[in-house]
Amino acid sequence: MKVEVNLARENVTKSLEVPDYYRVRDLLKHLGYTIQGTVVLRNGIPIIEDEKIKDGDKLTIVLTASGG
């Protein structure tokens, strides 16, 4: 299935072909990100790492920063 992923930090949008069983955590791993330190949005709404990705989804990956 085909999804569109916007990488907010890099200001880049990628079209990806991913397997039907992919969940958010699988996509993050595929792109080299971890669950900690990222927020994934579908239509501007945060989704959890167990959420299944759907054909035609437009997702945004936002990297979060923490520190002290």
User: What's the pLDDT at 64?
Assistant: 87
Q: Is 24 exposed, middle or buried (0-12, 13-18, 19+ CB in 10 A)?
A: buried
The values of phi and psi at residue 55, to 5°, are -55, 130
26-42-10-16 Cα dihedral, nearest 10 degrees: 50
User: What's the pLDDT at 67?
Assistant: 65
pLDDT of 66 strictly over 80? no
Task: Kindly state the helix (H) or strand (E) to which residue 65 belongs, with its residue range.
Answer: none
Q: Please state the pTM of the whole predicted model.
A: 0.89
The answer to whether the beta carbons of residues 58 and 43 sit under 8 Å apart is yes
Domain 2-63 indexed as CATH 3.10.20.30: yes
Q: What is the mean pLDDT of the chain?
A: 93
User: What's the pLDDT at 18?
Assistant: 96
